[in-house]
Amino acid sequence: MTAPSSAHATHRQAARDAWDLVLRSRFDVAPIGLDLLDIELEVLQEQLFAARALRNAHAMACKLPTEVVTSIFLYTQAVWKPSRQPGLNGERMTYGAGWMSVARVCSSWRKVALNTPCLWTNLDCLSFHPDSVMDILSRSKALPLSLTIKGSAATKKALEGWLCGPVNRRTRRLTIAECTRLQFSGWVELLDPAMPKLEVLDINVAVEGDGNFSHRLLPAKFLGRSCPPRLQSLSLYGILCGWDSPLLSPRLTRLLMSTPEDPNVLPSDLTNVLAPLVNLELLALWGIVPPSAGNVPLPVPRESKPRVLDLRANQSSQAPGIPAFLEQHSAWPASNITIVTRFSRPDDALYITATVPLLFSPHENKPLPSELFLSRGSVSILYGECWPRRQWKTKPERMNFFKSSSPGPSTFFRHLDVSYPNDNVLGSIVPLLPRETLEAIYVGHPVKSAIDGEDAWIRHFSPAKSIRRVAGYYVDLLALICALSVQDDGSDGHFTLFPELEVIIFHALVPQNKELGANMGSQGSEDGSEAWMQNHVAFLDLLAVRKAYGKPIKELMVDKAMEGWKIWTMPALLDATSISFF
């Protein structure tokens, strides 16, 4: 610790002298009662807080512009939310302040926090102490509110302050989640008043333990029997609205309806229900599509279509509805829109194979299929421009491709999933896929059980002559690596599989069990790599053969988790390709 400077020492002495004079002027005076001297001490203590505030005003953090401090608080809100925890052994509920703790740092931060209304508009209602409802709502002034009601603690009594008329009238977004449908029915009447500013409504309730059929639909009085004039997004999980509900408004741009039950309330012709919804950009029907399109005459084809269509069969009995819906709305799969289909079980094979040509063969000539992701139960194809280089290292997992599937001006995705697949599912899908124009393939885990052996890879993917890039988990790709060395009829230089291949991307597989962890846990060591000696030998052979016959692998990208493996530093590899780690 450095000694204080002479300037500090001088200032310290001057401060002592100045405050000594002040204290003597207040205490060393004519006789005065102890009660009055106690008042002097109380005032002095009060002034200490004021002195600290004056001192803090000189700190850099307190000199930041209000707009900057507000932005910092908004970022803090996103990662440090108020919380509600049940007490132990029957003790009272405890509440964590979360981001609101910034108001205790200093007076200037407290002033910004309490007097910036936009900080108090995104509220998780049950995370605040019940006694603070008035204070919290008053700080938002008259701004529109985004309310979240989450958890089984939601009761009519707990929510009466949050869902009263004045609050309802300025609610812009309402999210209800993590409660059962039976619990929701106990307080849903608080949502009878209209919400004229509501733009987004998201209700996600569990159906367990609720056999009451009347609870499957929102009550008739919901939101004043009308549709909020600004409502654009409606998501209903576990509960539906009536098919003649005013909530199904032409103003909707996003509609998601899902029920895990067999919806005995489906309309005779779903097309007529959807026809007026001309502004939809996303339409998701999970467990809602009728088993067949029926023979109802179709209305005049709509010019408008959603940019994303998501159809899911939660039960095998609903599986026929997916290809039937796509056939009935044939203009949609023939257009450049992203479509997601999900089946429940491999027993739906007849309907899966019927869906593949409808889903993956758009009638329009362009854009063409460019990139393919496949795993044991999922297939995704990107149409249009390939991903930019920065996305090449994307982990080959289904959700990564689904999250990246927002359609662009010249690209779209098609997805097919089977929730509980077996090894036969992928083999029945791949031969029906358009493979001729594909330029990249991402191999997920596990695929090796579904495409077993190099012959299976050649049989399924020999039509894919334009593949230039392959990505996958190194430990899963032995059969593919071996297949990439095979040449047509033993001829030299004519490779059977992916003859134009230039880039290979190897990912490290996260251990799923102790045995795999014992081998992969040393991914960064030479010993750990020995468990995959067959892969190493086959890959070095692949590099040598491809280079010898004028089709070299130009670039190898490897997960840093495997960077310490000896194979990547071997001269045979370094002489045959360029390697980098990510």
What's the confidence (pLDDT) of residue 279? Answer: 93
2 pLDDT band (50/70/90 cuts)? low
Cα–Cα distance for residue pair 25/33, rounded to 1 Å = 15
Q: What percent of the chain has pLDDT over 70?
A: 89
Instruction: Parse the chain into domains and list their residue ranges.
Output: 58-83+94-119, 440-509+530-581
386 pLDDT band (50/70/90 cuts)? very high
What's the confidence (pLDDT) of residue 275? Answer: 83
| The pLDDT of residue 518 is above 80 | no
Give just the sign of the alpha carbon dihedral 441, 431, 291, 279. Answer: positive
Q: Which residues contact 202 (CB under 8 A, 6 or more apart)?
A: 173, 174, 175, 176, 177, 233, 235
| The pLDDT of residue 284 is above 90 | yes
SS (H, E, C) 48-84: HHHHHHHHHCCCHHHHCCHHHHHHHHHHHHHHCCCEE
The torsion angles phi and psi of 168, rounded to 5 degrees, stand at -60, -35
The torsion angles phi and psi of 283, rounded to 5 degrees, stand at -125, 115
Which one-letter DSSP state was computed for residue 105? T
| The pLDDT of residue 415 is above 90 | yes
268 pLDDT band (50/70/90 cuts)? low
- Tokens found for residue 156: 């009519």
What's the confidence (pLDDT) of residue 3? Answer: 57
pLDDT, tens digit, 9 for 90 and up, residues 448-472: 888 989 999 999 999 999 999 999 9
**Four-point Cα dihedral 486, 490, 496, 501, nearest 10:** 60
Cα–Cα distance for residue pair 250/308, rounded to 1 Å = 17
H/E stretch holding 426: helix 423-429
Cα–Cα distance for residue pair 418/420, rounded to 1 Å = 6
What's the confidence (pLDDT) of residue 221? Answer: 94
Which one-letter DSSP state was computed for residue 485? T
Higher pLDDT, residue 377 or 294: 377
Cα–Cα distance for residue pair 582/579, rounded to 1 Å = 10
What's the confidence (pLDDT) of residue 98? Answer: 94
Which pTM value belongs to this model? 0.81
Q: Are 336 and 305 in contact (CB under 8 A)?
A: no
Q: What percent of the chain has pLDDT over 90?
A: 56
How many other CB atoms are there within 10 angstroms of residue 19's CB atom?
Answer: 10
The pLDDT of 420-445, averaged and rounded, is 92
Cα–Cα distance for residue pair 336/18, rounded to 1 Å = 80
Q: Give the chain's mean pLDDT.
A: 86
pLDDT, tens digit, 9 for 90 and up, residues 285-321: 998 877 665 444 444 445 567 889 999 998 888 888 8
| The pLDDT of residue 367 is above 50 | yes
Q: Which residues contact 533 (CB under 8 A, 6 or more apart)?
A: none
The pLDDT of 416-436, averaged and rounded, is 90
Cα–Cα distance for residue pair 256/181, rounded to 1 Å = 17
Give the closest residue to 342 by CA, choosing from 284, 418, 411: 418
Q: Which of 42-46, 278-282, 535-539 has the lowest mean pLDDT?
A: 42-46
Q: Which of 191-195, 314-318, 388-392, 544-548 has the lowest mean pLDDT?
A: 314-318
What's the confidence (pLDDT) of residue 454? Answer: 94
pLDDT, tens digit, 9 for 90 and up, residues 530-561: 778 999 999 999 999 999 999 999 999 999 99
| The pLDDT of residue 100 is above 70 | yes
User: Count H helices, E strands: the chain?
Assistant: 20, 19
| The pLDDT of residue 524 is above 50 | no
Higher pLDDT, residue 205 or 15: 205
| The pLDDT of residue 151 is above 60 | yes
| The pLDDT of residue 262 is above 70 | no
